[in-house]
Structure 1
Amino acid sequence: MTASYKSPLHQMVNTTKTDLWNDSCSVEELTYSISHGAVGATSNPTIVFNVIKQEMHLWKDRIHEVIDRNPDWTEVEITWKIFEEIGAKGASLLLPVFKREEGRKGRLSVQTNPANYRNAPALVEQAVHFNGLAPNIQVKIPVTKAGIQAIEEVTYQGANINATVCFTVPQAVAVAEAVERGLKRREAEGKSTADMYPVCTIMVGRTDDWIKVIAKRDGIITDPYIMDWAGIACMKKAYGIFQERKYRTRLLSAAYRHHMHWSELIGGDLIQTIPYKWQVLFNASDIEVKERMDNPVAPEILEGLLTHFEDFKKAYDENGLSLKEFDTYGATVRTLRGFTNSYHELQAVIRDFMLPNPDEKKA
């Protein structure tokens, strides 16, 4: 790293096509990330729950205010109001980037209710609502069967999407095709697509996680090192397809577990949404910042993954999963369960404000 760059991540965004996003809408974490070159951020129920826990001092008065001003609202309504406001606050921090980049960058992703993963109309309705929260919102929709339908419709209606709960090449390709259909519908009606910058996430670390779960569950013995390449292999494969077909959707990597989830993807015309703790570690590391996106995964690693893991075949092969199978793929199920649990934990936090436990002394 040369003296002209304040950190490795700052060097990456200034010397390659790869963009940095902050994998949180936390005010404190996003402020740090922007100072190192971040041009976007993301949120989901797990992230928002953690933001509330970490930054309760910033939100407790507002939670009380929303409760007091809306005496007829349920805890569900209060929860989503706070969820939206946390997202909007993150979006406001990115607004200068959004204006500077004329809408190409500077967006905050807000996730739709994970419980609606089977309900396309509900996903569309909430996505369109979220799109109106701020001018620089990117709406997250899960890559399930219903989610693909919603992604096309929401794109047609003019909202920028960030496809999430996605781990595989077939899911990513299905997203890109759905976006193209939505964009072409707009264009056929003379509607502008000039401000459309759709994104598709591949949660590379969660792809690795699922392969490791299978190995433990099924007693598969192989070189453990190869399992750290599953998500990277899927991302590189999908990236090649996207570049060849000139999809207008941009890929985004998420769910970091080790430095290769960052370093092996440097140089790609894509987004890396990195959790704050990993940003700090990467910025303090001596990992060389150089383009590696076009470096293929070693043949022996691919062979090991393809030989030992049927679910990696499904993830790596463009036709490995049917649309219906998106909903039952192991990584999808595990992630939806986690996001739904976090949503209910967030709701429980609001419940404690509305119905404080009378058995406990007030702080």
Structure 2
Amino acid sequence: MQLILDTGNLKEIQELSTILDIDGVTTNPTIVAKEKKNFVDLIKEIGEIIGDETPIHAQVISTSYEDIIEEATFISGLRENIYVKIPVTHDGLRAIKELKNKGIKITATAIFTAHQGFLAAKAGADYVAPYVNRLDNISADGVGTVKDLIQIIDRYGLSTKVLAASFKNTQQVIELMKAGVHSVTVPYDIAKAMMDHPLTDWSVDKFIQDWEAVYGVGTNTKG
């Protein structure tokens, strides 16, 4: 399973990529705007942190077919390992089909039903990104919808990966991991929450207390 960071903040990416074995970074217009940096510059700076081998997912803001094609072509030329994120509107699906024929790597996004994910996969998307918590926020079943999409993709042998997005808590992530999700993209706070547990800190402190009670403060196993 791939673990991808959902952030455009350079400090967050630097910190987490140093600790974790990450498989990419996803951005969207909201994430980019939050950083108040030039889009092209930000993509370049993210790439300098994670390296050329690690992919970046960057999204178009155009809505018409012709404009999506033009913008996606521009984004795809920013670096070698980049996936263009395209929402699954009618024009978006049409553009995904055309861009895939041109060899451009695509992540279909803003997916709220398994039907939409399947259609994007059929159109040629390399990743399909359903929104988990946004579905929960409208009293739908975000985890359940993604599970359905995973099952459909796997059952019919499609090469597309399900990239689950929009998480509120780590339990949503673990439920999809158990269901065999192909990849998840998580924001900084969720990534940190996946690593941290108060009992881990307590255990480390207890180990040190017990050691120092016998061997003295400041000593370690080397002497």
TM-score w.r.t. the length of structure 2 is 0.83
**What do the CA deviations read for 1:20-71 (whole angstroms, capped 9, x no partner)?**
110012211112222211110111111012223xxxxxx5xxxxxxxxxxxx
Q: Percent identity?
A: 26
| Structure 2: tracts of 5 or more residues without a match | 200-223
Contact 1:25 1:43 in 2 (8 A): yes
Moved over 4 A (4+): none
**Distance between the aligned counterparts of 1:170 and 1:43, measured in 2?**
24
**Distance between the aligned counterparts of 1:133 and 1:143, measured in 2?**
23
Across the aligned residues of Structure 1 and Structure 2, the Cα RMSD in angstroms comes to 1.8
Among 5, 8, 12, the alignment partner of 1:29 is 12
Question: Are 1:275 and 2:203 counterparts?
Answer: no
**Distance between the aligned counterparts of 1:205 and 1:286, measured in 2?**
25
For residue 286 of structure 1, report the CA deviation from its aligned partner: 7.5
Residue in 2 that maps onto 1:85: 41
Residue in 2 that maps onto 1:199: 127
Which residue type is aligned with residue 45 of structure 1? P
Residue in 2 that maps onto 1:209: 137
Contact 2:163 2:181 in 1 (8 A): no
For residue 269 of structure 1, report the CA deviation from its aligned partner: 4.9
Which residue type is aligned with residue 132 of structure 2? V
Residue in 2 that maps onto 1:20: 3
Cα 1:51–1:126, aligned 2, differ >3 Å: closer, same or farther? same
Residue in 2 that maps onto 1:42: 26
**Distance between the aligned counterparts of 1:166 and 1:126, measured in 2?**
20
Residue in 1 that maps onto 2:113: 168
For residue 276 of structure 1, report the CA deviation from its aligned partner: 0.3
Residue in 2 that maps onto 1:109: 57
Q: Which structure ranks higher in relative contact order (CA pairs < 8 Å, sequence separation ≥ 6)?
A: 1
**Distance between the aligned counterparts of 2:66 and 2:82, measured in 1?**
20
**Distance between the aligned counterparts of 1:172 and 1:143, measured in 2?**
8
For residue 109 of structure 1, report the CA deviation from its aligned partner: 0.7
Residue in 2 that maps onto 1:136: 81
For residue 110 of structure 1, report the CA deviation from its aligned partner: 0.8
**Distance between the aligned counterparts of 1:84 and 1:251, measured in 2?**
27
Cα 1:174–1:199, aligned 2, differ >3 Å: closer, same or farther? same
TM-score w.r.t. the length of structure 1 is 0.52
Structure number with higher helix proportion: 1
Contact 1:91 1:136 in 2 (8 A): no
**Distance between the aligned counterparts of 1:129 and 1:45, measured in 2?**
15
**Distance between the aligned counterparts of 2:183 and 2:41, measured in 1?**
24
**Distance between the aligned counterparts of 1:157 and 1:285, measured in 2?**
46
